[in-house]
Structure 1
Amino acid sequence: MKKFIVVTGGVLSGVGKGIFCASLARLLKECGVKVNVLKIDPYLNVDAGTMNPNQHGEVFVTEDGYEADLDLGHYERFLGEDMSRKNNITAGQIYSAVVKRERDGGYLGSTVQIVPHVTDEIKRRIDSLEGQVNVIEIGGTVGDIESEVFLESVRQLALEKPFGDFMFIHVTYVPYLRTSNEFKTKPTQQSVQLLRRAGLNPDMIVIRSETAVNSDTIKKVALFGGVPQDMVINLPDVSNVYSIVELLKNLEVHNKVARKLNLALDDSNFSWDYPRTFKQRRIALVAKYLGTDDAYKSIIESIFLAGCVKPEVIDAQNLEDMSYEEVCDRLSEYDGLIIPGGFGKRGIEGKIKAIRYAREHKKPILGICLGMQLMVIEFARNVYGYEGANSTEFDPNTPYPVITLMEEQKRVLQLGGTMRLGAQRMRIFKGTKLWDIYGVEETTERHRHRYEVNYDEFSELFKMPKEQGYKLVISAKSNFVEAIELEEHPFFIGIQYHPELKTKVGKPHPLFKALIDALEEHDQRGM
């Protein structure tokens, strides 16, 4: 019999529902339960692919090419399992499916309504989950207009299922008011009241706070939230979010869930291997999306899970306004650089200056997606002498279009879900640094791009440049150039794909481990 844990949020968004869901799912998995997860996003976008990273954070791409909310990244990293499009529902998907069915005559002349037609579609999607326990995160906060139909759907489904198959957990924020030196529970009380008006009663309340709350606060939340005191769980801020799995275990959350859902658990083989010590290497993430810390979440977590302190995000647009000498001075304080992906012209010249600095000063650098394309542009301009070399994305009239729109993309009219997406097979060439890192001749990596290296017209870039000692080589290829590197450089690697999307706890992607190792070697040599 399938069980369901529905996690809702209150007071404000961004308090860590996704981390809690991922941690709880991993804890149950460690106790021998087959777990599945589902993120419900109430927005009307069909997926997250067209959403601005400055507003919504990164777009996480699954193996099957689905562009998802970043919470699926949390689920993958914590659970150690690949997610797919089945692990995400958006309101846009639901309404699109209902309208299409109506247009196809699927409702036999009925007046199509929110209840029962929209709610039935949501329930169908939820009930199709195949886990023994299915953890369902409803995005946003209780009280949001767009969330109401999802709350109604889970209310109905819980009534339709046998008693004991559903558990409701409400995650709220309890602020500390410094002027009166007390934790304030009123926002949580009101949030629970909103949940009750939707016909749902929480079985457990998880209160997030900056610091640990006192026992009086726990009692007050239990009283007004209508749950036993032992079902109020406090999760204060922690420096390492991966420690939350152990924290939940120590609070016996798994046993409390097991009692509610009548589950048999075995935590005797519990093992949670995450980094606890970190190398103190300064890595600059030369970025352009600075509106939220989540814009480069998977890259940042990949470095962290590879055992290094998190990289520092610096504004590529600021570098654009500096002279090259000023850029060199600014970046000299870092041990290595990462140039991440992105779209649009803003900040591009700043990133190119950073790449030039890393090349000329032999500073370890990893270019991801757009980062690799900019490496090729910088090389074409400053080594091969192709003045004005560029991508047609930024300059359609460039005399040297070393990066160009993929042929298949020239026929695409819609933006959503039309890029080269998901797992793609590629061949790695022996004798390259990439071969040393992977140790295999073929592998698959996840992609999200429209532009490619224009190899057919500019293959000479990958031959010895005129009167210079640099040699740019292709280290991986599919139908496209997948990776490039400089032979004479300690670590100058550009990749068209997104390795950060495959990092798991206990299994960071080898490219990030290789970058950190290169930083160590670079430091030991005193370069």
Structure 2
Amino acid sequence: MNPTRIALVGDRSTAVRAHERIPQIASGYDDVDLHWLPTADLVPAEATAFDGVWVVPGSPYADEDRVVDTIRAARSGGTPLLGTCGGYQHMVLEFARNVVGVAARHAESPVAGGGGDAPASTALITELACSLKGRSGQVDVVPGSRAAAALGEQSFERFHCSFGLTADDAAPLVAAGLVLSGTSPDGEPRVVELPGDAFWLGTAFQPELADAQPHPVVDAFVTAARERARRRLAEGLDVMAGR
């Protein structure tokens, strides 16, 4: 077994191109083991047992609440956390619900206790005015951010989403500490992160679809997971030695 254990949170499907690409990308790391975790079977508290949690594209998920609870467990436990496309959207939801304290919803999700789409007034992740499905676009990155360390101050990325966070809806989240570290040229959110030592990064784009692999964002995440694995193994050896 390889020492770096990464959980892939999502409902694996051959219809999702990113799901097909991730194992290919991971094969370039000889010290990484991937563990697919279907959302209906998630045990959120187990997130901290992994060296990294990657919430992958492919929403709506079979169990949105378990996904959000798993993201919360990873964030609270300092587990390196990467969310791409749908994963990014649900990282934003988790932060809004559990840090900001608002009853945030995804517009794809049914209203609790009823059917139909969530009213626009309660939806934080909404249908984009201009869909990014199958598109590529420029991302302007904030200097000095975690995103900038991976991407530089500007990158050109591939998207495959119709839903996202708008700049207006992001304002209360930013006030609570969320960092919009990457935006479109017109200022719409494309990358979010949290300050501090723990790796916590979400991208509206899909680094899985980049031609050149591993994508710098994925590489930064794997590096953070490796460091956690190193600490975990060192602590385990200390316990075994009676220290």
Q: Place the TM-score, normalised by the shorter chain, in its bin.
A: 0.7 to 0.9
For each residue in 1:142-189, what CA deviation from the matched residue of structure 2 results, as whole angstroms up to 9, or x when unmatched? Answer: xxxxxxxxxxxxxxxxxxxxxxxxxxxxxxxxxxxxxxxxxxxxxxxx
Alignment partner of 2:8 out of 256, 261, 285: 285
Match of 1:305 in 2: 28
SS of the counterpart of 2:83?
A: strand
Match of 1:350 in 2: 66
- CA drift of 1:306 comes to 3.9
Alignment partner of 1:389 out of 93, 104, 107: 104
CA contact 1:402–1:455 (8 Å) conserved in 2: no
CA contact 1:352–1:374 (8 Å) conserved in 2: yes
TM-score w.r.t. length of structure 2? 0.83
Instruction: Work out the CA distance in 1 between the residues paired with 2:229 and 2:27.
Output: 19
Instruction: Work out the CA distance in 1 between the residues paired with 2:31 and 2:16.
Output: 18
- Per the alignment, do residues 407 and 317 of structure 1 end up closer, same or farther by CA in structure 2, a change over 3 Å counting? same
Alignment partner of 1:455 out of 161, 167, 189: 167
Question: Following superposition of structure 1 onto structure 2, how do residues 99-248 of structure 1 map, counting pairs within 5 Å?
Answer: none
Verify: 1:495 aligned to 2:203, yes or no: yes
Instruction: Work out the CA distance in 2 between the residues paired with 1:483 and 1:344.
Output: 20
Match of 1:510 in 2: 216
Match of 2:113 in 1: none
Instruction: Work out the CA distance in 2 between the residues paired with 1:498 and 1:300.
Output: 15
Alignment partner of 1:364 out of 35, 55, 80: 80
- CA drift of 1:460 comes to 1.6
Instruction: Work out the CA distance in 2 between the residues paired with 1:343 and 1:520.
Output: 27
Verify: 1:523 aligned to 2:242, yes or no: no
- Per the alignment, do residues 300 and 430 of structure 1 end up closer, same or farther by CA in structure 2, a change over 3 Å counting? same
Which of 1 and 2 has higher RCO (CA within 8 Å, sep 6+)?
2
Match of 2:134 in 1: 421
- Per the alignment, do residues 291 and 318 of structure 1 end up closer, same or farther by CA in structure 2, a change over 3 Å counting? farther
Match of 2:238 in 1: none
What amino acid sits opposite 2:21 in the alignment? Answer: S
- Per the alignment, do residues 377 and 293 of structure 1 end up closer, same or farther by CA in structure 2, a change over 3 Å counting? closer
CA contact 2:7–2:53 (8 Å) conserved in 1: yes
Instruction: Work out the CA distance in 1 between the residues paired with 2:30 and 2:147.
Output: 20
SS of the counterpart of 1:311?
A: strand
What amino acid sits opposite 2:84 in the alignment? Answer: I
TM-score w.r.t. length of structure 1? 0.40
Alignment partner of 2:56 out of 340, 350, 356: 340
What amino acid sits opposite 1:379 in the alignment? Answer: F
Match of 1:327 in 2: 44
- CA drift of 1:347 comes to 2.1
- CA drift of 1:384 comes to 0.6
Instruction: Work out the CA distance in 1 between the residues paired with 2:21 and 2:40.
Output: 22
SS of the counterpart of 2:168?
A: coil
Match of 1:404 in 2: 126
Aligned-pair identity in percent equals: 26
- CA drift of 1:503 comes to 4.9
- Per the alignment, do residues 293 and 443 of structure 1 end up closer, same or farther by CA in structure 2, a change over 3 Å counting? closer
What amino acid sits opposite 1:317 in the alignment? Answer: A
SS of the counterpart of 2:135?
A: strand
Instruction: Work out the CA distance in 2 between the residues paired with 1:308 and 1:360.
Output: 26
Instruction: Work out the CA distance in 2 between the residues paired with 1:308 and 1:292.
Output: 28
SS of the counterpart of 2:101?
A: coil
- Per the alignment, do residues 294 and 389 of structure 1 end up closer, same or farther by CA in structure 2, a change over 3 Å counting? closer
CA contact 1:359–1:489 (8 Å) conserved in 2: no
SS of the counterpart of 2:53?
A: strand
Alignment partner of 1:441 out of 153, 164, 170: 153
Instruction: Work out the CA distance in 1 between the residues paired with 2:169 and 2:52.
Output: 32
- CA drift of 1:290 comes to 5.2
- Per the alignment, do residues 524 and 344 of structure 1 end up closer, same or farther by CA in structure 2, a change over 3 Å counting? closer
For each residue in 1:487-507, what CA deviation from the matched residue of structure 2 results, as whole angstroms up to 9, or x when unmatched? Answer: 025110000001111254xx4
What amino acid sits opposite 1:518 in the alignment? Answer: A
CA contact 1:401–1:454 (8 Å) conserved in 2: no
SS of the counterpart of 2:179?
A: strand
**Aligned residues: CA RMSD:** 2.5
What amino acid sits opposite 1:392 in the alignment? Answer: A
Instruction: Work out the CA distance in 2 between the residues paired with 1:364 and 1:304.
Output: 20
Match of 1:473 in 2: 179
- CA drift of 1:521 comes to 2.2
User: What stretches of structure 1 of length at least 5 have no aligned partner?
Assistant: 1-277, 320-325, 410-418, 466-470
- CA drift of 1:299 comes to 1.6
* Count of residue pairs the alignment pairs up: 224
What amino acid sits opposite 1:449 in the alignment? Answer: C
Question: Following superposition of structure 1 onto structure 2, how do residues 39-50 of structure 1 map, counting pairs within 5 Å?
Answer: none
CA contact 2:10–2:61 (8 Å) conserved in 1: no
- CA drift of 1:333 comes to 2.6
- CA drift of 1:431 comes to 1.5
CA contact 1:380–1:389 (8 Å) conserved in 2: yes
- CA drift of 1:456 comes to 1.0
CA contact 2:104–2:123 (8 Å) conserved in 1: yes
Instruction: Work out the CA distance in 2 between the residues paired with 1:307 and 1:508.
Output: 13
- CA drift of 1:331 comes to 2.6
